[in-house]
Amino acid sequence: MKYVYFFGEGDKNMKTVLGGKGAGLHEMTRIDIPVPPGFTITTEACVYYFTHDNTSPEGLKEEVKRALNRLEKHMHKKFGDIDNPLLVSVRSGARASMPGMMDTILNLGLNRNTMDGLIKNTGDKRFVYDCYRRLLHMYGNVVLEIPHEEFEEILTELRQKEGVNLDSELSSESLGELVKKYEEIIKKHGKTFPDDPVEQLWGAIEAVFRSWNNDRAKEYRRLNNIPEDWGTACNVQAMVFGNMGEDSMTGVAFTRNPATGENLFYGEWLPNAQGEDVVAGIRTPHPLSVVEKERSNSSLPSLEELFPDTYRELCAIREKLERHFRDVQDIEFTMEKGKLFILQTRTGKRTPLAAVKIAVDMADEKLIANEEAIMRVDPKDIDLLLHPMIDPNAKVEVVARGLPASPGAATGRVVFFSEDAVRMKEKDEECILVRIETSPEDIKGMASADGILTQRGGMTSHAAVVTRGMGKPCVVGCESINIDYKNKLFKKGGTTIKEGDEITIDGATGRVMLGNVPKIKASLSGEFGRLLSLADRVRRLGVRTNADTPHDAKTARDFGCEGIGLCRTEHMFFGGERIKAVREMIIADTREERERALAKILPMQREDFKGIFRVMDGLPVIIRTLDPPLHEFLPKEQAAISELAKKMNVKPAVIEEKVRALSETNPMLGHRGCRLGITYPEITAMQARAIFEAACEVTKEGIKVIPEVMIPVVSSAEEFENQRDIVEKIAKEIMKEQGIEMEYMVGTMIELPRAALIADEIAKIADFFSYGTNDLTQTTFGFSRDDVAKILDSYKKKGILSYDPFQTLDEKGVGELIKMGLKKGRKTNPKLEVGICGEHGGDPKSIDFCERTGLDYVSCSPYRVPVARLAAARAKIRNSR
Amino acid sequence: MKYVYFFGEGDKNMKTVLGGKGAGLHEMTRIDIPVPPGFTITTEACVYYFTHDNTSPEGLKEEVKRALNRLEKHMHKKFGDIDNPLLVSVRSGARASMPGMMDTILNLGLNRNTMDGLIKNTGDKRFVYDCYRRLLHMYGNVVLEIPHEEFEEILTELRQKEGVNLDSELSSESLGELVKKYEEIIKKHGKTFPDDPVEQLWGAIEAVFRSWNNDRAKEYRRLNNIPEDWGTACNVQAMVFGNMGEDSMTGVAFTRNPATGENLFYGEWLPNAQGEDVVAGIRTPHPLSVVEKERSNSSLPSLEELFPDTYRELCAIREKLERHFRDVQDIEFTMEKGKLFILQTRTGKRTPLAAVKIAVDMADEKLIANEEAIMRVDPKDIDLLLHPMIDPNAKVEVVARGLPASPGAATGRVVFFSEDAVRMKEKDEECILVRIETSPEDIKGMASADGILTQRGGMTSHAAVVTRGMGKPCVVGCESINIDYKNKLFKKGGTTIKEGDEITIDGATGRVMLGNVPKIKASLSGEFGRLLSLADRVRRLGVRTNADTPHDAKTARDFGCEGIGLCRTEHMFFGGERIKAVREMIIADTREERERALAKILPMQREDFKGIFRVMDGLPVIIRTLDPPLHEFLPKEQAAISELAKKMNVKPAVIEEKVRALSETNPMLGHRGCRLGITYPEITAMQARAIFEAACEVTKEGIKVIPEVMIPVVSSAEEFENQRDIVEKIAKEIMKEQGIEMEYMVGTMIELPRAALIADEIAKIADFFSYGTNDLTQTTFGFSRDDVAKILDSYKKKGILSYDPFQTLDEKGVGELIKMGLKKGRKTNPKLEVGICGEHGGDPKSIDFCERTGLDYVSCSPYRVPVARLAAARAKIRNSR
């Protein structure tokens, strides 16, 4: 077993053994990038160390010694040599990047003797003392486990005593004093700082190994699903110094702009400085290029101006690295006395906006294949790009946190009632509607408000679903606030926010902030469209949308949807005149009265459908018949009941009685969906009439209509058959009346476990299935999505569930039912069209499942359409590899 | 194809072809019972008739002619002969008995000419005219399709004109006039009554075929699941007359007493009479035997006395028929001028009581095998035997009908509140608790009342489940009544029933009656116990019980249960001091406060378990940890909240806030079952402590305890693991403390679809599964059992569901999940114990499913245990055939 690799012996594909940092250094060495030489001790050595009682494997010492000799020869210096000492750094580097989580020690090899040699060589006593005090500090803390604060305290005292602000202003005398005090601290703890450089080295190596198991590293791994047994590699590298005078400098750079993605070398540097200084923000860094200097209005000279040769060399390295690694690189460089070194290269982190541009540009430059470009952009980022975002540089005062239900940031005055939101909208004032929870009655207020904040509810609560459909910012389940409707205020701890106060909510993070927080609005850049076109060429899954209005349908079509997968007709039942007729229908005691009320709704509903059909010209439109229990349409509070009674000219007791009669213990499992259509066939008939009359009339306008009628909450073939018969009868009647022939389909939601279990029976008489995974998740788990927030919260904390099954499809349970339903359904009806229209239709992981399972399409809210297009393409690529 | 069978050519096994009646006649002919000769036209001819545009198959006419010739020879009479006419009857007879649903025509062969011959032969003009007018009436109605009422009207007019009450009092002259009027009616309708006897015969045969499709026959088939395509056979038989003078008579008999099952010939007869007269109730029939005469205090001479030879002959036939058919026979006989004929034999219908006695007796007599005896008794009847029943002879005034939720009849004064029921009980007065619906708060009232009536709820509503557990009569979902709690009354139509009024409810039929209706109490006769012992020897499935108290456990053990399959601990949380401590626990804000409250509950719960363990000595006891959402334990009404607040020394607002915080939109899918135990591990810990402390203490008394702890509402292996770990930790602790080692199990309910879907994962760490089919049915169908009544009602009416899936297991959907769970569970844990503890555990059809599927046991309410024992044996026999 080989435990030590000299830089260049390994390559970029050996991350498992060399860690990410190590692999980058080896690879750069291989392709002749000027990297200070060094060697990597493998992760396997680290794993051995942990599994063998913190002892090193046999032969490791010997290997390290040989590598160190080789390094000495390379550098023409000797480790521990009094005249010409070699200094080294020891750095961790795991397979996956764990920035800042593990330890680093610099300047190893210094001691009272070698310091003199170094002073002689550099002529800079202060610099050498500075190196030494840093070594004592780092070694004392990391290896000898003396609290960091004890060193920090003395340093602070010293600065105060000297009357300076920065460590760099301390004189070499002060530093000499500091070094003594540091040595005393170490002694006080009964520890010894080893003078022997080899002993220093081994102390550092083992400390780096152990840092794999410090608390913050463990927590980071838990959060990022990094296995515990990977271990870290350890890189021992010759020190180079950017602070050896005016012909030295240090800096960091991105091969392209990580914020915008622009193909422009981007970076910062400091003359006569060490690496940390650039990021520490103590001195203002210089721009890299002249262009950059101009853009940032910097008065400091650029590298291009001061060191044109070095700049050219760096540009060539940039070119070489990008071409070699085929991605944006984040590099660190140091120039020691005119000589340029690259200390690190890694894939550069970027903003969502930049990710898109870089991927498309690199595909254009033929640096990467189209499919690779698609795989480079995380669909989650796409979602953020479509909404205004909180300016990352803004100062914010967070008062509470809820669940990030619908992305985007919004600012407005607090209102608590829908009517107030409507009133604000009329006055063109921005507002945030704050409710304990929302119900269909709030729909107008939600449409008027600029953002929604609720105290209760989960990621798939009414508020969450509706606002995502509207593409409107929403924070739900903000349990820590206390809403007082009566006094029109809410409290959080000691803070009281009243009606009219200005707040900002961030639907991407769940933050609730005071005042108007600055936002940035990202636009649909050209690259964005081009990326999605690439995705469209690749993907197999269709992408439809869940839209209930012509406006939403238009939004979704602009975002590239290929049809409507779910048009919920009940949302059309609210608002003005409609709700009145709907309530008349519900209050009705006889079929005749019901039909009279339905006749009033018919023309309105027909107009809704006409609008949608026009927008979706040439694309299929799935319309679901009435789904929610009727009591959702009745008022609940006494005042509203009295008002309705007056309007309808009946006694309040009549309405009260109806509300009572219709109330249900578990409305989710109650009289809804096809069950309504079966007990009141006239409702289904009216809806079918509205759909087919609209379809015929719009067809006459020269528009191509492809209607698909969907029956909800089906648990048996008999239920479906009953409703299908009503729809088909009406469809034929109307097409005959209007003299129009058109293709149409009648299909069903699969949203109850039983429907999946007997899918073969249903598929015999159904044209399509659409998995309603929201409800299917509810019944499969026995979770009510209105009540589940606090359960999921505690489950996540206890590690019982690692994800929210209402956001990401539960493959083991719900997914099993989907697979079973698909298999059984296609067995009796090979032409069955199968899609998914739950919230999961817009979730990338769930879309991957749909691709693997062989569904025909996913359907999601309009603002999720671009996400789904990209995710579908990625799923196709991933699963055909 | 042979379409006609002369009596004796077929046999009793040919019901498919000859129909039930035909097969009986053929068999009797074969074994030399004196049957008037005749022949059967097969069901196949009938089916041909329907499938070929109402035409007879080729050759049928010829076959019938040959059979008729043979009949003439037999009878020494000729069909249509003027001097010595043969008369025949034509009767339907399908594979399955459909009593009174299809048509019969008697006296075929009579016309103006043959009448004279018959008058000459019998010397009884009146009798012959009577036969003829009956023929005209029956033929006119059945064949010529003239409304029955038109004949009836004229007959009534004639009786009025003659001033007589009975048709039999009409003179032959009047009958002659009647005949003329009947002929006129037929003419008026443009129809002709055929003089030609052969034409009469064919008209009758085809009419009998067609009667298969009349409305009442169709409805009967729908209700009894008889296939539409079976068709009926048609029996053509020589007429014999019991009304040819004093040496003629007619009667019906059962070979054993059909009410008690006693092995005693039982029947009635009338001298000089026709068959209909015996059942019509116009004349009082005579007893068959001297014993019967004495028992019934009849003054009429018995057949044994008047016709001792005929009686002896009949006794011999009785013996022969029973021995031959190996079951009680229901026979019809006629003596024509001293000669005895048997006109029909069929299996005798019997009361549940008789069914048990007959089966056991016949097994004792070696007439049938033990297994056959088991198959002879319908388990549904057993249920009725265990409860008092409404006297079938009692006159009742039914005011309303609900669902028959828990069998048995009860009478008492109406009360509307639990406290009133308790007060009545204290005064030893009988009462019926009438509620819109019941909740756990009503438990004491329900225990005190003699019967429960609810306006809402289905067969598995709270009231239904609890009363079945108590073995107490209950009618639920009586939607037609209107309860007014304020005025303490309920209305049904115009009737008002006030508090204190006496009513009787019949939980076996759902009837609600005014006053005290007489009841009969059937006892557990010796035969009953013996039948169940036979069943126990045969069955494979274990039978456990759902019992929450030592009292219920005792009842069930007396009924032969083999363990407790479900002990619901939450029922122990109500009542007096307990509910107070439970509420303290719920109101608690911290874990410490909760633990303090739980510590008060612990000793009480421990005592409960000790009581149950003692009763179940040597048998396993499955105890389920807390299941319902906590809000069920809190009061809902303002007054109760205030009272509680006072008791607990907090402000009412504190309680209100807690009630609000705990309220859920869909409590069925809410914070319940293991979810409670996961968020409040101290509850599970307390319950585990109570169970194992009780088990150890009782073990020290020398009792064998086999505890099995069951975790409810599990949807993932992680949930189960979390709860199992708590239970196991406590169990080990306590056994160590007490120095006792015992076997115990920890398992889970499978009551959510997901649990069945991932059963392989759960089974790895679970000792047993128990299917909670109530909840599994709810989530699989998406039906809330509290709300489903009206949906199921409309579904049954529309033929969408033919049964209540909460009573009989849905094999296609829920059953599929059960099979899947079992298969997956046994795959990873071959020793897994698997049972069912939903309501279905006491339903015979569902038990048959459990047998076929390979479950280990069923568990049902105590009063269902005998039913389940029998049903399990029957299922074993049925499925090993």
In one-letter notation, the amino acid at residue A331 is I
Instruction: Using a pLDDT cut of 90, give the percent of chain A over it.
Output: 65
Q: What is the pLDDT of residue A607?
A: 94
Q: Which residue from B665, B713, B794 is facing A678, i.e. has the nearest CB?
A: B794
Establish whether this prediction's ipTM goes over 0.85. no
Residue A590 has pLDDT above 60, yes or no: yes
Locus of tokens 């004491």: B444
Residue of A nearest to B664 (CA): A787
Lowest mean pLDDT among A222-226, A419-423, A743-747, A838-842: A222-226
Q: How far apart are CA B675 and CA A781, in angstroms?
A: 12
Alpha-carbon distances of B268 from B292, B314, B320, B334, B704, rounded to whole Å: 10, 12, 19, 12, 58
Please, what's the largest Cα pairwise distance for chain A? 107
Quick check: is B478 catalytic? no
Q: pLDDT tens digits for A298-338?
A: 788 999 999 999 999 999 999 999 999 999 999 999 999 89
Q: pLDDT tens digits for A540-571?
A: 999 999 999 999 999 899 899 999 999 999 87
Q: What is the pLDDT of residue B524?
A: 58
- Which residues make beta-bridge pairs with A409? A506
Q: pLDDT tens digits for A426-461?
A: 888 999 999 998 887 788 889 899 999 999 877 667
Return the structure tokens found at B818. Answer: 């059960």
Q: Determine which of A682, A715, A720, A749 to mutate to test the interface with B (most B C-beta atoms within 10 Å).
A: A715
Q: Which residue from B722, B753, B790 is facing A753, i.e. has the nearest CB?
A: B753
Q: What is the pLDDT of residue A522?
A: 53
Check CB contact under 8 Å for A753 and B713. Answer: no
Q: pLDDT tens digits for A374-411?
A: 999 999 878 777 878 888 778 888 999 988 878 789 99
Return the structure tokens found at A579. Answer: 């709700």
Q: How far apart are CA A246 and CA A273, in angstroms?
A: 9
Check CB contact under 8 Å for B666 and A666. Answer: yes
Locus of tokens 């970076």: A267
Q: Do the beta carbons of residue B792 and residue B842 sit within 8 Å?
A: no
Average confidence score pLDDT of chain A: 91
Q: What is the pLDDT of residue B283?
A: 65
Q: pLDDT tens digits for A107-129?
A: 999 998 999 999 988 888 888 99
Q: How far apart are CA B49 and CA B39, in angstroms?
A: 18
- Name the CA dihedral angle for A292, A297, A303, A307, rounded to a multiple of 10 degrees: 120
Selecting among A474, A674, A837, A860, the annotated active-site residue is A837
- Residue A868 phi/psi, 5-degree rounding, is -65, -40
Output helix, strand, coil percentages for chain A, rounded to the nearest 5.
50, 15, 35
Residue of B nearest to A775 (CA): B782
Q: How many residues are recorded in chain B? A: 881
Check CB contact under 8 Å for B754 and A813. Answer: yes
Residue of B nearest to A674 (CA): B791
Check CB contact under 8 Å for B779 and A779. Answer: yes
Quick one: DSSP state of residue A302? P
Residue of B nearest to A792 (CA): B675
Q: What is the pLDDT of residue B93?
A: 92
Q: How far apart are CA B838 and CA B808, in angstroms?
A: 10
Q: Determine which of B486, B750, B775, B783 to mutate to test the interface with A (most A C-beta atoms within 10 Å).
A: B783
In one-letter notation, the amino acid at residue B560 is G
Q: Which residue from A669, A718, A812 is facing B666, i.e. has the nearest CB?
A: A669
Angle between helices A172-188 and A125-142 (to 10 degrees): 20
Q: Do the beta carbons of residue B605 and residue B572 sit within 8 Å?
A: yes
Please, what's the largest Cα pairwise distance for chain B? 107
Contacts of B803 (CB under 8 A, 6+ apart): none
Chain A residues with CB under 8 Å of B667 CB are 665-666, 784, 787
Give the mean pLDDT of A473-502: 91
Angle between helices B60-75 and B197-211 (to 10 degrees): 120
Check CB contact under 8 Å for A798 and B758. Answer: no
The distance of B720 to chain A (nearest Cα, Å) reads: 10
Check CB contact under 8 Å for B758 and A813. Answer: yes
- Which residues make beta-bridge pairs with A711? A748
In one-letter notation, the amino acid at residue B90 is V
Give the mean pLDDT of A148-176: 86
Q: How far apart are CA B272 and CA B306, in angstroms?
A: 13
The distance of B762 to chain A (nearest Cα, Å) reads: 13
Check CB contact under 8 Å for B754 and A784. Answer: no
The distance of B52 to chain A (nearest Cα, Å) reads: 30
Q: How far apart are CA B621 and CA B838, in angstroms?
A: 16
Q: What is the pLDDT of residue A786?
A: 84
Q: How far apart are CA A272 and CA A122, in angstroms?
A: 13
Q: pLDDT tens digits for A843-853?
A: 999 999 999 99
Q: What is the pLDDT of residue B606?
A: 96
Chain A residues with CB under 8 Å of B798 CB are 678, 722
Check CB contact under 8 Å for A753 and B780. Answer: yes
Q: What is the pLDDT of residue B276?
A: 63
Q: What is the pLDDT of residue B451?
A: 95
Check CB contact under 8 Å for B784 and A670. Answer: yes
Chain B residues with CB under 8 Å of A790 CB are 671, 679
Give the mean pLDDT of A720-737: 97
Contacts of A567 (CB under 8 A, 6+ apart): A546, A547, A548, A612, A621, A622, A623, A624
Residue A777 has pLDDT above 90, yes or no: yes
Quick one: DSSP state of residue A274? -
Sheet holding A482-484, edge to edge: A482-484, A489-492, A495-498
* Max avg pLDDT among A462-476, A606-620, A661-675, B432-446: A606-620
Check CB contact under 8 Å for A787 and B664. Answer: yes
| Residue spans of chain B under pLDDT 50 | none
Check CB contact under 8 Å for A798 and B713. Answer: no
Q: What is the pLDDT of residue A469?
A: 67
Q: What is the pLDDT of residue A278?
A: 66
Quick check: is B431 catalytic? no
Q: Determine which of B438, B666, B721, B723 to mutate to test the interface with A (most A C-beta atoms within 10 Å).
A: B666
Check CB contact under 8 Å for B753 and A664. Answer: no
In one-letter notation, the amino acid at residue A36 is P
Check CB contact under 8 Å for A782 and B679. Answer: no
Selecting among A462, A571, A631, A840, the annotated active-site residue is A462
Q: What is the pLDDT of residue A245?
A: 76
Q: What is the pLDDT of residue B410?
A: 94
Q: Which residue from B668, B678, B799 is facing A798, i.e. has the nearest CB?
A: B678
Q: What is the pLDDT of residue B277?
A: 63
Q: What is the pLDDT of residue B523?
A: 54
Chain B residues with CB under 8 Å of A668 CB are 665-666, 668-669, 782, 784
The distance of B780 to chain A (nearest Cα, Å) reads: 5
Chain A residues with CB under 8 Å of B799 CB are 718
Residue A525 has pLDDT above 80, yes or no: no
The distance of B718 to chain A (nearest Cα, Å) reads: 5
Q: What 3 state SS string does B273-342 have?
A: CCHHHHHHCCCCCEECCHHHHHHCCCCCCCHHHHCHHHHHHHHHHHHHHHHHHCCCEEEEEEEECCEEEE
Q: Determine which of B754, B778, B814 to mutate to test the interface with A (most A C-beta atoms within 10 Å).
A: B754
Q: What is the pLDDT of residue B437?
A: 86
Chain B residues with CB under 8 Å of A801 CB are 716, 718
Residue of B nearest to A800 (CA): B718
Q: How far apart are CA B566 and CA A548, in angstroms?
A: 48
Chain A residues with CB under 8 Å of B788 CB are 669
The distance of B448 to chain A (nearest Cα, Å) reads: 26
Lowest mean pLDDT among A228-242, A348-362, A409-423, B706-720: A348-362
Chain B residues with CB under 8 Å of A786 CB are 664-666
